[in-house]
Amino acid sequence: MTREVVCDLDGVAVLRDGSAWFIRYDAGAHQIAMREDGISAEEAALAMSGPEGAVEVLFALQQRLIAAGINPYAANAPE
């Protein structure tokens, strides 16, 4: 299986791999830092609702990553 882009919000994309959902985004400020992280189906739906929902998902995701000891601002995916 490969990750398929389900929704491209022109800067943030929601991807699907079977039943698993992912969000692809630039987590960097002055420096580009592309990431792909797993999200729930509910979060995927929220992210696909538009930029406001996508940012809400990214905030929650960042908190989860920090809690897991992962730097959410460092790249983990190719550009």
Partner 1 sequence: MRLGGWLNRLAFAAAGMLALLGTAAQADEGPKDAATRQWWALTRELSSDAMEGRDTGSPGYDRAAAIVAKRFAEAGLKAAGDGGGWFQTITFEDLRLDEARSRLTVGGQALRFNREVQLSPSAATPKSLTAAATFRGYCSQAEIADVKGQLVVCYGRPAPARLKGFDRLKALQDAGAAGMLLIAAPGLPGEPIRWPFAYSRSVTPLEEVAVARGGAPWLQGVLNPDSLARLTGQADAILKAGAAGADLPRVELGKATGVLTVNRRVTRSANVLGLLPGTDPALADQAIVIAAHLDGYGRGEPVKGDRIYNGTLDDAAYVALLARFAAMHRGKGLKRPVILAVFTGEEKGLWGSRWFVKHPTVPLSRIAAVINLDQVRPLYPLKLLSVHGLKESSLGDLVLQVAKARGIAVQEDPEPERDLLRRSDNWPLMQACVPGTSFVFATYDDASRAKYRDWYERRYHHPADDLSTPIDWQAASDFNGFFTALTEAAADAPGRITWNWGLAPHRAGAVRFTDLEPQYQPGKCELAVLETPKGQRPAAATYLTEAYQAAHAALFAKGAVRIQPKAPAGKIGFTETWVLPPSVADAAIAQAGGDPRKLEALLGLDAGYLGDAPVRVDIPAPQNYRIPSGNEYAANAFWRPGGMTWEGGLPEAVIDPVPPEGYVVTPVFGKAP
Q: Choose between 1 and 25: whose C-beta lies nearer to partner 1.
A: 25
Taking the CA atoms of residue 40, residue 2, residue 49 and residue 45 in that order, the dihedral angle to the nearest 10 degrees is -30
Q: Could you give the count of Cα atoms lying within 13 Å of 23 in the half-sphere of its Cβ?
A: 28
Q: What is the identity of the amino acid at 72?
A: P
- Tell me the closest approach of the beta carbon of residue 64 to partner 1, in angstroms: 6
- Tell me the closest approach of the beta carbon of residue 66 to partner 1, in angstroms: 5
Which residues would be at the binding site for partner 1 (CB under 8 A)?
Answer: 9-12, 25-32, 51, 54-55, 58-59, 62, 64, 66-69, 72-73
